[in-house]
């Protein structure tokens, strides 16, 4: 029997922990949408890669204060791929689960977009498709941590249903897109776990937090 799994069902005691890598009052670590990044300490962060229009790195900077050196797009925004510094992870020598760029324990790709004043306009996260299988197998559960962090109420969600092109994986099917506006932010969250028409397993969570100017 197929189980379509909304976030409220998947959220259990093991998921009740807050985002380990998210700041209590911010978004992720010291990154807060609507606040300047150029004044942040670089402690805990590694490489900052300036991305070009095709998403490939075109330059690298070693401090948040230097991100304005990255090339701007037509909208005047600089897109930067963010990596964490493994040397700052004190438990990495004990277990490699502490290494790499992670949100709530999930290996991720983390990208920010910064305006001409150094203000963080957009923060985008997606589970890393290249992560080792044992780390990636629960990628679809990251969506629950996002909802917990920003509050369980107020999400507007559309939920897909199994079809010939999208089938359950081990009796579980997740295909959900949710949006929420809160605290000067627009949040879009997508969560997927299904087997596609090519019989490949799609298992991913992505979310974008965008600055919403207060009226």
Q: Is the pLDDT of residue 99 over 60?
A: no
Chain mean position to CA 105? 11
For position 210, what pLDDT does the model report? 97
Q: Is the pLDDT of residue 77 over 70?
A: yes
Note the pLDDT tens digit of each residue in 145-177: 999 999 999 999 999 999 999 999 999 999 999
Rounded to the nearest integer, the mean pLDDT of the chain is: 85
Query: Taking the domains of the chain in order of start, what are their residue ranges?
Result: 3-211
Note the pLDDT tens digit of each residue in 52-75: 999 999 999 999 999 999 999 999
Alpha-carbon distance of 151 to 103, in angstroms, equals: 17
Residues facing 192 on adjacent strands: 175, 204
Alpha-carbon distance of 162 to 148, in angstroms, equals: 26
Contact between 104 and 111 (Cβ < 8 Å) = no
Eight-class DSSP state of 151: -
Note the pLDDT tens digit of each residue in 13-62: 233 333 444 444 579 999 999 999 999 999 889 999 999 999 999 999 99
Contact between 207 and 109 (Cβ < 8 Å) = no
Q: Tokens 């999930």 map to which residue?
A: 106
């Amino acid at each position: 029997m197929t189980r379509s799994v909304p976030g409220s069902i998947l959220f259990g005691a093991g998921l009740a922990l807050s985002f380990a890598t998210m700041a209590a009052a911010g978004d992720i670590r010291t990154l807060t949408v609507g606040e300047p990044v150029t004044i942040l300490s670089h402690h805990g962060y590694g490489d900052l890669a300036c991305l070009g229009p095709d998403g490939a790195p075109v330059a690298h900077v070693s401090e948040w204060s230097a991100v304005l050196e990255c090339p701007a797009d037509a909208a005047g925004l600089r897109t930067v791929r963010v990596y964490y510094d493994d040397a700052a992870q004190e438990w990495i020598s004990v277990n490699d689960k502490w290494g790499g760029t992670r949100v709530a324990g999930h290996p991720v790709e983390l990208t920010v977009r910064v305006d001409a004043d150094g203000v963080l306009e957009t923060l985008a996260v997606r589970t890393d498709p290249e992560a080792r299988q044992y780390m990636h197998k629960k990628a679809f559960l990251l969506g629950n941590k996002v909802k917990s962090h920003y509050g369980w109420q107020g999400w507007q969600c559309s939920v897909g249903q199994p079809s010939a092109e999208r089938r359950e994986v081990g009796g579980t099917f997740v295909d959900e897109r949710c949006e929420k506006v809160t605290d000067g932010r627009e949040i879009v969250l997508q969560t997927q776990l299904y087997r596609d028409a090519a019989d490949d397993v799609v298992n991913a969570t992505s979310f974008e937090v965008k600055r919403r100017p207060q009226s």
